[in-house]
Structure 1
């Protein structure tokens, strides 16, 4: 019987798999690449405008929300395409709802951006 791995070893492996997944997203998905560039621009803007710690928290949460939603959307679309490669109305519905979740997250992030940066611009 093989030796059972410790909790710590399992957690380290899990972090490794998560890191691999994040890298795969950045390397293969154009939507994540675009969101990543926007995140870098917003981070630079945060330094340029010297935003407050609270504003950093909201901006970081907004960026994380978008990146997470994009990643989950990608996973849902991949599973849907794997299960049913040809067009199907229910699969289309699932993919549309998943994309809609990203859209909602993006709207929230845009609103947060406006709240943080409009007063600094005007």
Structure 2
């Protein structure tokens, strides 16, 4: 049992370090984090309901998570094949497309959410 707990603590340490690396080095994560902070400030200003907070925070986490996975795919592709290759470009485009889906649906959800406050 003790080794299980220690293993989970180590895993958490790696995960938090990964989050730190993303926020420190990736411009897209930095930008989306700043936009999230802006939405949080707006949420406090307009006094979002509990459910609207949950929806907004989920959208933020959804975008940041998909963007993080996109970054991992891009880094792996660059490591495996540093030079341009059409198949690597295709893989990167698909990963970027996943981020676009997340952003677009989040924009729709947040537009619906904020519409009632305007």
Q: Highest Rg: 1 or 2?
A: 1
Structure 1: segments with no counterpart, 5+ residues: none
Partner Cα separation in structure 2 for residue 77 and residue 55 of structure 1? 33
1:34 is displaced (CA, Å) by 0.3
Q: 1:55-94 alignment to 2 at 5 Å?
A: 55-94=52-91
Q: Aligned match of 1:32 in 17, 21, 29?
A: 29
Which 4+ stretches in 1 moved above 3 angstroms? none
Partner Cα separation in structure 1 for residue 54 and residue 43 of structure 2? 11
Aligned length: 117
1:53-112 alpha-carbon deviations (Å, 9 max, x no partner): 111111111000000011000000000000000011110010000000000000011111
Map of 1:95 onto structure 2: 92
Structure 2: segments with no counterpart, 5+ residues: none
Q: State the SS of the aligned residue for 2:47.
A: coil
1:44 is displaced (CA, Å) by 0.8
Map of 1:12 onto structure 2: 9
1:118 is displaced (CA, Å) by 2.0
TM-score, length of structure 2 as denominator length: 0.96
